[in-house]
A and B are shown apart, each in its own frame.
Chain A
Amino acid sequence: MNPFAHRAIAIAGMAELPRRRRSGRTAFELAGEVVAQLFASTGLGPADIDGLALNVAMSEGAHPFWSNVMADALGLQPTWLQLTDLGGATTSGNVARAAMAIACGQAETVLCLAADASTTQNMAQQTGLKSEFSDPLGYAGPLSSFGLISSVYESRYGSIQQGLAKLAVAQRNGAMANDNTVPELRKPITEADYHASRIVASPLHVLDCVMPCDGASALLITTADRARAIGCAAPVFPLGYAEITNFQAQENLPDITLTGHSVAGPRALAQAGLSPAEISMFQPYDDFLIAVALQLEQIGFCGVGEANRFLCDNDLGPRGLLPINTGGGQISSGQSGLAGGSVNLIEAVRQLRGEAGARQVPDARNAVVTGIGAIQYVRNWGTSNALVLAR
């Protein structure tokens, strides 16, 4: 069975906690709270869950048995268990993995859990390449890489800062309407604020970047039949998924601006049988605004080098041609550590359930959600994935 064909697999429940900086809580506590919410809203309990997928949590460092310990903490007895270390591509990747596991009969009702509390405690450590050949040379984390990418993009296509300023404001407007936004970001910004914000890695401003926080979310994935049986009124169906890791692996001198989304985006859309023009909204992974621009171009929403014009010419809000990160994305509502990919994913599901309130996209039929995982040596991101969802 193809898990993405015939609306056979459904997202049948969702829950998300408000994001907080330095919550003082553990990933276990956040997980317990969000799973309790999911159970309360779906009428299910621990005995109904036979699959669990979760993320590596920076707050727990290199816990060697994280998924087992979490299953025990939640009272689950999964017949299928998945711990994913795809960084920001983890959560959409887990929805696809759960769908495949269900299609293969390994589980019927999967909990896709995302939880991290990395601003309360960060025990993550990256050995090898990063500590030996990056950090001592002046690598200051992902913002360094996105500064390098931006310098090439802007030298080739000209400044994109006007378009990114507009995107920053549009996302902030969405974040203001999102009850789960971190409180520090629930204040309006203007394009002038973006341009005036401090440079962190030229040409990147601080308002190009995410604010880390703690948070958790949970999705329930099951068969369409079981979704109906448990009374799910608004199932959301994965129609296409594609993923690629270490794009251009054997290329010594790759184009640093060309990402795996140039492969994964079109492939996921083709599997869903949809063209970019048929997509109701775009919920791209946004650790940096330039990443949204590259994905717009490489997935096919606009031409290569045209993101600035696309962003400047279009209403990016919920009533626009292509609403983008309607809940604020991570940049304006907070990046919950390695659970951060769920911010954009949950927003897409919420929109397709018709539960987005003041920021609801009218007649939302489908959405493209993406993930970005890890950063490679003097290249761009490691894992690129794209998930097409529809109601």
Chain B
Amino acid sequence: METPPNIAGPAPSALTRPFWDAAAQGTLLLQYDPAADRYQFYPRPISIHTGRTDMEWRPACGRGTLASFTRVQQGPNAWMLAGIDLEEGVRVLAPLVNIAPDAARIGLPVRLVWITEGRAQPLYAFAPAPEAAPKVGS
């Protein structure tokens, strides 16, 4: 399976620690602004919709569609990178796995999966919906 290089992120900050703690348990958290009834992603210090800080963490349902994609090639390594539009109305940058490079098309239904093998931190990724499995590479 083509996956991105194993690049470690920085130690989580106070803002992002709940996100990565949940990721370790296989849950993708989104910030939700109850005042706007809207989500946002990536985690930010303030709601981009209302400017308020009283946001909640809510788990993403994990269903979405392919909004954009590219197959990155660096030397011998290649992987698919995608923009995914989640049902909650946010766009996530993530690897696209379990897919032939020429099978990607805008609008393709996808499901959340996790890349765990050899990773200190589980990576959220997406796969074509019919083939989605709860864990990939573990």
Contact = CB atoms under 8 A, between A and B. Distances in A.
B48 interface: yes
Interface string B24-55: 00000000000000111111000011000000
Interface in A133-168: 133-140, 143-144, 147-152, 155
Given A131-B10, A377-B42, A137 B70 contact: no
Contacts, number: 113
Interface in A359-379: 377-378
B68 A200 contact: no
Contact of B101 (A127, A202, A256, A378): A202
A127 B15 CA distance: 14
Contacts of A149: 68
Nearest to A132: B9
A133 B90 CA distance: 14
Contacts of B89: 252-253
Contacts of B42: 129, 132-133, 377
B67 A152 contact: yes
A267 B82 CA distance: 33
* Most chain A CB neighbours (cut-off 10 Å) among B5, B68, B90, B94: B68
Interface in B95-117: 95, 101, 104-106
* Most chain B CB neighbours (cut-off 10 Å) among A199, A202, A256: A202
Contacts of B43: 133
A233 interface: no
Interface residues of A, number: 35
B105 A139 contact: no
A229 interface: no
B73 A201 contact: yes
A277 interface: no
B69 interface: yes
B63 interface: no
Contact of B67 (A127, A133, A137, A256): A256
Interface in A181-200: 198-200
Contact of B83 (A155, A198, A204, A256): A256
Contacts of B73: 198-202
Contacts of A143: 72
Contacts of B93: 133-134, 137, 139, 377-378
Interface of A: 127, 129, 131-140, 143-144, 147-152, 155, 198-204, 249-250, 252-253, 256, 377-378
Interface of B: 3-5, 7-10, 12, 16, 38-43, 48-49, 67-74, 79, 81-83, 85, 89-95, 101, 104-106, 121, 123-125
Given A137-B93, A249-B48, A253-B90, 11 more contacts: A134-B93, A137-B4, A137-B94, A138-B95, A139-B93, A147-B81, A148-B82, A149-B68, A199-B73, A252-B90, A378-B83
5 contacts: A133-B93, A136-B123, A137-B93, A138-B95, A253-B85
